[in-house]
Chains A and B, each alone.
Chain A
């Protein structure tokens, strides 16, 4: 952290600026607060992303012509692989910043989080679109996907039914929540005002739905019973998935905030990101306490001290939830952007590993089955992430998503 020293020398600078600015925003100027970043859309970076998307399309063509087996290593022992465990379960958790920031800003009425709302909603929107696309590629009989929403077919006891209905609805809600940004861009004031009048409803639903399906992504594993290792199989799975997804979602917001500040050479909203990562790491600690306490209560903590790869993973995950909290524990520590960034990365990776372990490593269906993702599966996952980054980058350049750059920061 030696590189953080220069920032420590005048730490309060950006913090005070933002804090004092808020009450002076004139009412009429309120909706001009966010602004498109502008600039050229196509450069080497975006072209590279587009190339990755094209590679994905080639693999998908093969998948749809010759079947899932032609491009994946999925088998009857591991019927769910990279596309579900990473793109859906991890991907949507990283998109949980959308509902968390909306909750802080609108439900708890903490206006200081307002600048993070639009970027978080944008990332959530494309995170969920990515998850939805991945499900569509993964399900074998994709042309029948509508059965999940058709009364004649739905099976309400299925956790997967709840998850798919809830994720689909939430993605639509995210579109509505994001609509004012588009309307604002094109200056369509009348429809924008109309939407704003009912937006509270979508914001409320947009907080409820993710708490339901993020916890249900954990519940999906409960019915696997003894097929999931006792360190991971617990009735608390829904609560563990919910607490950790909030940590992951806020970590992703901090990650994206830092990266976009660097990429677009903008002022870093350090105090805001510091507050967000603090909440994220606190939820991470709550996850850790729940998890260890639950293992102890069920009397399986001893299994974590056996010399197995899984118990090693168990502790690596726990350390990844603990260390970020320590990194940003003090006000002073949170003045170092590097610390915030590292804490966010560790927390996100911790949540990612926890989900991967639960879905793929702790899951053991019997001898004789192995799974490691194929190049084709990797190409699709990478292509989906590239698509997401590409879409977000273009949106940030064209639409009023990021806060309008304060004059002072530009001169600094």
Chain B
């Protein structure tokens, strides 16, 4: 039989071991997830965006999202959403400084950025969802939402570092809404509506591998030189002549939280575009590693339960032999006479 002292020191040791295991980085750590081979995604090049918001309208239409009323200075506007919401999966946001006359300049300049699902390689929303309503397609890597499974707990809303999944709070039978890369259009040969309607190729759809090459090509160009910009979907032949731009030395989404399938290029620093500054390690990996260390394939709780069962059995079964160790006689007599009932 396990003595109380053994048990306590064992339990304390277990907690300490878990604490040590969780604070050292590699012990039993969950592996970082790789980019799926056929991952699909978007490239958004802010220097090409003219802020027409055709993509915002097209997204609404392609996904059957209702229009939204926005209150701004000088009146109400219909369908000029300022941010993502339960009714809006994609918005174009604007940075503006001073006179706001110089495109992609920090001072007295302006710049555009797109906000929609980043389709993370290791998504927090998938890791947190208790009912598998958020899943990552093993082939395309698209982060998908299943209304049928969702219980509306909103853990995904809270956990997403990009603030992407949104909830329809004003509905009696609510749901989560987020960009799913217009996957429903793929079967008919279609692709993301935002990329399809973009007149300048600022939003480009394609395989992530190809998009990464396109990013490398653009970054290697000399600013001001003539070049060709593809439009719509990479490799569909639609392109136009343009001038190479100057970029900040940061491809947003390339490394953030283990990488994403949507990549952003910009002429101004991403902090100015309100893109969150994020660690390279995926929070999903950090959290799952910690849980794994604590539960260590369920062995720790089973061991703990075994010790608890042994002691509870010993102290509560009426027919057990008398106890001596470290217990006041009155107390143990009482516990046994009670038959251990609470």
Q: Which residues of A contact B (CB under 8 A)?
A: 22-23, 25, 27, 30-31, 33, 64-70, 72, 74-77, 79-80, 102, 105-112, 114, 117-118, 121, 138-142, 144-145, 147-148, 153-155, 157-162, 164, 177-178, 180-181, 184, 192-193, 195-197, 199-201, 203-205, 207-208, 211-212, 215-216, 219-220, 222-227, 235-236, 238-239, 363, 365-368
Nearest Cβ on chain B to A286's Cβ, whole angstroms: 11
- Given contacts A155-B132, A159-B287, A219-B291, 4 further A-B pairs with CB under 8 A are A68-B174, A106-B335, A153-B149, A196-B339
Partner of B274, one of A102, A111, A203, A367: A367
Q: Which of B18, B19, B288, B327 contacts A109 (CB 8 A)?
A: B327
Which residues from 216 to 249 on chain B have a C-beta closer than 8 Å to any C-beta of chain A?
A: none
B275 to chain A, nearest CB (A): 10
Residue from A33, A106, A118, A162 having most chain B Cβ neighbours under 10 A:
A106
Give me the 10 closest cross-chain CB pairs, A-B, nearest first: A140-B152, A111-B331, A69-B169, A225-B283, A22-B330, A204-B308, A141-B152, A79-B154, A223-B287, A161-B130
Q: Are A109 and B315 in contact (CB under 8 A)?
A: yes
| Chain B residues whose C-beta falls within 8 Å of the C-beta of A144 in the assembled complex | 131, 149-152
Which of B316, B318, B332 has its CB near the most chain A CB atoms (within 10 A)? B316
> Known interface pairs A140-B167, A147-B149, A196-B339. Does A222 touch B287 (Cβ–Cβ under 8 Å)?
yes
Whether the pair B341, A180 counts as a contact (CB closer than 8 A) is: yes
Contact of B279 among A68, A121, A141, A225 (CB under 8 A): A225
Q: Is the CB of A141 within 8 A of B173?
A: yes
Chain B residues within CB distance 8 Å of chain A: 4, 7, 15, 18-19, 22-23, 83-86, 124, 127-133, 149-155, 157-159, 161, 163, 166-175, 257, 274, 276-279, 283-284, 286-288, 290-291, 294, 301, 304-305, 308-309, 311-318, 323, 327-335, 337-342
Q: Which of B151, B167, B276, B335 contacts A148 (CB 8 A)?
A: B151
- Bound complex: CA of A178 vs CA of B305, how far in Å? 20
Beyond A106-B340, A114-B334, A225-B279, is A368–B83 a contact (Cβ under 8 Å)? yes
Whether B342 lies near A223 (C-beta < 8 A) is: no
B86 / chain A contacts, CB cutoff of 8 Å: 76
Smallest beta-carbon distance A190→chain B, Å:
13
| Beta-carbon contact of B153 and A224 below 8 Å | no
Chain B residues closer than 8 Å to A219, beta-carbon distance: 287, 290-291, 294
* A353 CA to B331 CA, complexed, in Å: 37
Please give, as numbers and ranges, the residues of chain B lying within 8 Å of A181 by CB-CB distance: 342
Smallest CB gap from B174: residue in A: A140
CA distance A9 to B334 in the complex (A): 31
Nearest-neighbour CB distance to chain B for A60, whole angstroms, equals 13
Neighbouring B residues of A203 by C-beta, 8 Å:
308, 312, 316, 340, 342
Whether A199 contacts B315 in the complex (CB less than 8 A), given A109-B332, A219-B291, A365-B158, comes out as no
Distance between Cα atoms of A284 and B199 in the complex (Å): 62
Question: What A residues does B171 contact at CB under 8 A?
Answer: 67, 69
Question: In the complex the two chains form, is B174's CB within 8 Å of A109's CB?
Answer: no
Q: In the complex, what distance in Å separates the CA atom of A31 from the CA atom of B89?
A: 63
Residues of B within 8 A of A178 (CB): 342
- Interface contact A226-B158, CB-CB below 8 Å: no
Contact B286 A67 (CB under 8 A): no
User: Can you list 25 A-B contacts with CB-CB less than 8 angstroms, sorted by A residue number?
Assistant: A22-B328, A23-B333, A27-B337, A67-B174, A70-B170, A72-B169, A102-B342, A106-B312, A107-B308, A108-B311, A117-B342, A140-B151, A140-B174, A141-B152, A148-B131, A160-B128, A196-B318, A200-B316, A201-B313, A204-B308, A223-B124, A223-B159, A225-B124, A239-B15, A239-B18
Q: Verify A25–B19 contact, CB threshold 8 A.
A: no
* A-B interface pairs (CB < 8 A), number: 267
CA distance A110 to B152 in the complex (A): 44
* Residues of chain A contacted by B308 (CB below 8 angstroms): 107, 203-205, 207-208
A351 to B315, CA, bound (A): 32
**Which residue from chain B places its CB closest to the CB of A222 in the assembled complex?**
B287
Q: Which residues of A contact B328 (CB under 8 A)?
A: 22, 111-112
Q: What are the residues of chain B within 8 A of A220 when measuring CB–CB?
A: 155
Cβ contact within 8 Å between B305 and A204 = yes
Contact residue among A110, A158, A180, A192 (Cβ-Cβ distance under 8 Å from B327): A110
Q: A179 to nearest B CB, angstroms?
A: 9
Bound Cα distance A22, B166 (Å): 60
Interface centre among A118, A145, A203 (most CB of B within 10 A): A203
CA distance A154 to B290 in the complex (A): 20
B130 touches A109 (CB 8 A): no
A105:B172 contact, CB within 8 angstroms? no
Cα-based distance from A368 to B83 in the complex (angstroms): 10
* Complex-state Cα separation, A208 to B14, whole angstroms: 13
A93 to B255, CA, bound (A): 38
Hey, which chain B residues are within 8 Å of A216, CB to CB?
Answer: 291
| B160: min CB distance to chain A, Å | 9
Docked Cα-Cα span, A201 to B310, in Å, equals: 9
Smallest CB-CB separation from B311: which chain A residue?
A107
Residue B334 contacts which of A111, A195, A197, A211 (CB distance < 8 angstroms)?
A111
Q: Which residue of A lies closest to B294 (CB)?
A: A238
State the Cβ distance, A246 to closest chain B Cβ, in Å.
12
Knowing A177-B342, A227-B161, A368-B83 touch, does A200 contact B167 (C-beta < 8 A)?
no
Q: Return B122 CB to nearest CB of chain A, in Å.
A: 11
Q: Which residues of A contact B316 (CB under 8 A)?
A: 106, 196, 199-200, 203
Known contacts: A31-B341, A65-B172, A201-B309. The answer to whether A79 contacts B330 by CB under 8 A is no
B309 cross-chain contacts in A, Cβ below 8 A: 200-201, 204
Query: When the two chains form their complex, are residues A147 and B131 in contact, meaning their CB atoms are under 8 A apart?
Result: yes
With A and B bound together, what is the CA distance between A119 and B159 in angstroms? Answer: 38
Most chain-B Cβ atoms within 10 A of its Cβ — which of A108, A200, A212, A227?
A200
- B335 touches which of A111, A145, A363 (Cβ 8 Å): A111
| Partner of B128 from A102, A147, A223 at Cβ < 8 Å | A223
CA A180 to CA B342, docked complex, whole Å:
7
Cα(A74)–Cα(B157), bound, Å:
12
Contact B172 A67 (CB under 8 A): yes
CA distance A74 to B152 in the complex (A): 13
- A141 to B150 CA separation, bound complex (whole angstroms): 7
Q: Among B131, B159, B335, find the residue whose CB has the most chain A CB atoms closer than 10 A.
A: B131
A365: chain B residues at CB < 8 Å are 158, 163
Residue of A nearest to B134 (CB): A155
Chain B residues whose CB sits within 8 angstroms of the CB of A235 once the complex forms:
19, 22-23, 286, 290
Instruction: Specify which chain B residues have a CB less than 8 angstroms from the CB of A69 in the assembled complex.
Output: 169-171
CA distance in complex: A64, B152 (Å): 13
A117 to B173, CA, bound (A): 42
Would A107 and B315 count as touching, CB distance under 8 A? yes
**CB neighbours of A164 from chain B (8 A):** 130
